[in-house]
Amino acid sequence: MTGEPVLVFDGDCGFCTTSVGLAERLVGIRARVVPWQRADLAALGVTRERAEYEVLWIEGGRVRGGAQAVAGLLIAAGLPWSPLGFLLRLPPVRWAAHGLYRLVAANRHRLPGGTPACALPAPGSAAAAPPSSRPSPPPPASPSSPSPSSSPSPSSSPPPPDVRTAENR
């Protein structure tokens, strides 16, 4: 994907929505801002699990998540914000920013503006998703396909932030 950067956030989370609104007013986000619930995630090259897990900055086909998404937003905003964005990309500030982001994300339902809907779903828990966004049950297995019990279950934990795979390079 090329063109205008995209900021993807959790539109069901009051804390996230308030934070994005504040960033729009104070920083001036130079990107298309879209809640993941209304985004074409496949076209953006991200999974629903990753979008639920962290804020995403998608620019030039590259996906950055969490604190590095915030860094991308700040860099794109220009002066006076871009130096802070570049600083967030440098170790050890990068490591501290990642830890702080994970702490805030894990507790966003407890922060001002947060509601129970802001809580991150337990890894692999469809029950934690709002009813309107729960996936439908899988179709019954055909006789030619292996049974679910005979194959190992895939890991349901979200990807670690900033892991670059072939699909998001």
What is the structure's pLDDT at 148? Answer: 43
The domain locations on the chain are: 1-119
Average confidence score pLDDT of the chain:
77
CA 83 to chain centroid = 23
Q: Is 168 exposed, middle or buried (0-12, 13-18, 19+ CB in 10 A)?
A: buried
- Shortest CA distance to 13 belongs to which of 130, 131, 126? 130
What is the structure's pLDDT at 121? Answer: 59
Here the tokens at position 14 are 């009051």
Range 152-168 average pLDDT: 42
Q: How far apart are CA 154 and CA 88, in angstroms?
A: 33
CB neighbours (10 Å) of residue 113?
16
What is the structure's pLDDT at 114? Answer: 62
Residue for token pair 């396909």 = 145
Range 27-54 average pLDDT: 94
pLDDT (tens digit, 9 = 90+) per residue, 85-103? 999 999 999 999 999 999 9
pLDDT over threshold 50, residue 59: yes
- Shortest CA distance to 163 belongs to which of 74, 76, 82, 47? 47
What is the structure's pLDDT at 3? Answer: 82
